[in-house]
């Protein structure tokens, strides 16, 4: 049946990815649904179809080809697409999201096959609600929206950045079981300042410079108001906005609507969870750490803010907690004596002499943890990492910039240049590293451990706001999923093949924090988990 209750049959079924089973339609279904003769005669099970898809998937010669192959599958058979992702999650996540999605976004116009999601352009000002009502689904639970200005570490990709919301929402479905029809990717096309795209005759977006100021704010505000009218229960996730807009838009809307910024808050929660795991390896406490960030944008200050919240929860006064977080930006160490600091950096501008480079900051501040969110590759040099190892028995080294080409260092560099002392996590996946007979399994500080569970918990609790306490509880829940066996391997995060269990744990903790009625807190943990599992989309015929 379609949304109006009309019976769908024949070729129409085969061309709708939500209803198409391909060769999986049974003999009875082929007769009842007028499919006889429209398919090869043999009926295949979902497991047999999966085997065929995986054979063809593994024949692809590049990760981008694999991305395109999976996109084509999603366009024709949604159930099979999600079955593949769920059964082969560790193999698939690097393809449908980081690091491959970065290359896919760069080439988005060239590989474009079929429109997915909603495009709201600057030319649509004044009729955004009308556009939202063109979307065929009404019961939308999660909206991921970007304006394409800061795609991963790649910068302004304009409308090509639509690959990010599409990928994020596929992860909401596969990792947390949020039904695909309840997910809406949105591109706010406000132009691009990328000259290469503006010259590209195949570019799909507005071939104009980005709008800004009041014109930009007016369009965003119209979009937000339209979502509250058309999809009043939806959680809105801001994704890959430039720093100058990401921080202020979050501050503007966080107390007005149900929203969060994954680059700021999701990244913060996954980083905090990794730090919790690292302190178990070190046998230390969070309040014992001193954090030095390379990068001082929204991701860095978002992580620092949540670290401060967590340290305060452990009894450290706020001013002392902030003093344990230091930033290095493109100019050097962020200190009070510097002129014209951006507002979001001021809270972390401490009294100290100015130092112009990262190595000097490491030697002077003697941090226990080095966190890279700069988007600048190879900046955790051998000298920097050797200095960290000289200061600490087990230095925490997080190279969180992605895609892989933007990583501050590789896992192998982190382990080798610290003689195996480092506790490492990357923003992209890295293979195991063996040093002197010991094998390290590097963790990936992937937001996929956080945002799907947060979304599921918010949806299940009916919360109207997403607070800082939501992300603090999510980080703790994620860290609790890391076993002693994982830590012994060097893992700071659980394996991706347990991601649905992880998302359930995160969502359960979020439900308790987000529920304003107080009723959910009184329910047993197992009952909450069972409620969440009952909501989950399971890809099957």
Closest CA to 383 of 363, 369, 366: 363
| pLDDT tens figures, 404-426 | 999 999 999 999 999 999 999 99
Residue 315 to residue 309: CA distance in whole angstroms: 10
pLDDT at residue 390 greater than cutoff 90: yes
The tens digit of pLDDT for each residue in 208-231 reads 999 999 999 999 999 999 999 999
Burial of 77 (0-12, 13-18, 19+ CB in 10 A): buried
Contact in structure between 288 and 368 (CB atoms under 8 Å): yes
% of the chain with per-residue pLDDT over 70: 98
Tens digits of residue pLDDT in 513-535 = 987 666 776 778 888 888 899 98
108-127, pLDDT tens digit by residue? 999 999 999 999 999 999 99
What pLDDT is attached to residue 4?
55
H/E stretch holding 427: none
In Å, what is the CA distance from 192 to each residue of 119, 182, 199?
14, 29, 11
What number is the average pLDDT over the span 133-139?
96
User: What count of other Cβ atoms lies within 10 Å of the Cβ of residue 32?
Assistant: 12
370 forms beta bridges with 292, 397
Query: Mean pLDDT across the stretch 151-163?
Result: 96
**What was the pLDDT predicted at 518?**
66
Q: Which residues are catalytic?
A: 97, 168
Take residue 176 and report the two structure tokens written for it: 């947390």
Q: What is the pTM of this model?
A: 0.94
Q: What is the mean pLDDT of the chain?
A: 95
Q: In the chain, what are the domains?
A: 1-44 (1.20.1370.30), 100-257 (3.40.50.10380), 265-446 (3.40.50.720)
Coil vs helix vs strand at 43: coil
- On the question of pLDDT at 3 being above 70, the answer is no
Q: Which two tokens stand for residue 539?
A: 């890809």
CB under 8 Å to 184, separation ≥6 — which residues? 117, 118, 135, 137, 140, 142, 143, 144, 169, 231, 234
Neighbours of 435 (CB within 10 A): 13
- Token digits of residue 338: 């510097």
- pLDDT (mean) for 88-107: 95
Cβ neighbours, 10 Å, residue 536: 16
Confidence of residue 2 (pLDDT cuts 50, 70, 90): low
**Residue 148 Cα distances to 120, 293, 311, angstroms:** 12, 25, 34
Q: Is the dihedral of CA 299, 270, 250, 144 positive or negative?
A: positive
d(CA 398, CA 410): 10
Strand pairing category for 183-189 and 235-238: unpaired
As a whole number of angstroms, the distance between CA 359 and CA 391 comes to 12
Q: How does pLDDT run across 28-74, given as a tens digit for each residue?
A: 999 999 999 999 999 999 999 999 999 999 999 999 999 999 999 99
pLDDT tens digits, one per residue of 223-267: 999 999 999 999 999 999 999 999 999 999 999 999 999 999 999
**pLDDT score of 537:** 96
Q: Mind listing the pLDDT tens digit for each residue in 345-387?
A: 999 999 999 999 999 999 999 999 999 999 999 999 999 999 9
């Amino acid at each position: 049946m379609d949304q109006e209750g009309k019976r769908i049959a024949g070729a129409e079924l085969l061309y709708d990815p939500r209803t198409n089973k391909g060769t999986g339609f049974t003999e009875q279904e082929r007769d009842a649904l007028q499919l006889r003769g429209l398919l090869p005669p043999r009926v295949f099970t979902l497991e047999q179809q999966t085997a065929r898809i995986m054979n063809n998937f593994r024949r692809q010669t590049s990760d981008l080809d694999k991305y395109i192959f999976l996109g084509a599958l999603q366009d024709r058979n949604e159930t099979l697409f999600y079955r593949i992702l769920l059964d082969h999650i560790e193999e698939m996540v690097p393809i449908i999201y980081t690091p491959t999605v970065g290359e896919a976004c760069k080439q988005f116009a060239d590989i474009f096959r079929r429109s997915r999601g909603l495009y709201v352009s600057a030319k649509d000002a004044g009729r955004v609600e009308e556009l939202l009502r063109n979307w065929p689904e009404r019961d939308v639970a999660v909206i991921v929206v970007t304006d394409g200005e800061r795609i991963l570490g790649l910068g302004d990709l304009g409308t090509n950045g639509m690959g990010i919301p599409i990928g994020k929402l596929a992860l909401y479905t596969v990792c947390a079981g949020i039904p695909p029809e309840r997910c809406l990717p949105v591109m706010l096309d406000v132009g691009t300042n990328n000259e290469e795209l503006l010259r590209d005759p195949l570019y799909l977006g507005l071939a104009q410079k980005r709008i800004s100021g009041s014109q930009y704010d007016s369009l965003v505000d119209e979009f937000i108001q339209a979502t509250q009218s058309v999809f009043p229960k939806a959680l809105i996730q801001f994704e890959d906005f430039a720093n100058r807009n990401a921080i202020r838009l979050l501050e503007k809307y966080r107390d007005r609507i149900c929203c969060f910024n994954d680059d700021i808050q999701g990244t913060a929660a996954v980083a905090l969870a990794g730090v919790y795991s690292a302190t178990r390896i070190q046998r230390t406490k969070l309040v014992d750490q001193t954090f030095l960030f390379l990068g001082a944008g929204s991701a860095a200050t978002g992580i620092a803010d949540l670290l401060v919240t967590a340290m305060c929860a452990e009894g450290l006064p706020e001013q002392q907690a902030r003093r344990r977080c230091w930033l290095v930006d493109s100019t050097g160490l962020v200190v009070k004596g510097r002129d014209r600091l951006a507002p979001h950096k001021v809270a972390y501008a401490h009294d100290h002499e100015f130092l112009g480079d990262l190595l000097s900051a490491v030697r002077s501040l003697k941090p226990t943890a080095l966190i890279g969110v700069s988007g600048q590759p190879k900046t955790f040099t051998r000298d920097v990492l050797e200095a960290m190892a000289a200061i600490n028995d087990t230095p925490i080294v997080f190279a969180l910039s992605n895609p892989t080409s933007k990583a501050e260092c590789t896992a192998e560099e982190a382990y080798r240049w610290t003689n195996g002392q480092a506790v490492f996590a990357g923003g992209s996946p890295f293979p195991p590293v063996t040093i002197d007979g010991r094998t390290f399994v590097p963790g990936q500080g992937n937001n996929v451990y956080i945002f799907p569970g947060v979304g599921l918990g918010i949806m299940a609790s009916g919360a109207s706001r997403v607070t800082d306490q939501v992300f603090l509880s999510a980080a703790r829940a994620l860290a609790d999923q890391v076993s002693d066996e994982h830590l012994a391997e060097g893992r700071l995060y659980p394996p991706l093949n347990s991601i649905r269990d992880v998302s359930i744990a995160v969502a359960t903790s979020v439900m308790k924090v987000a529920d304003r009625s107080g009723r959910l807190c009184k329910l047993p943990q197992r009952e909450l988990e069972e409620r969440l599992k009952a909501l989950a989309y399971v890809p099957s015929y």
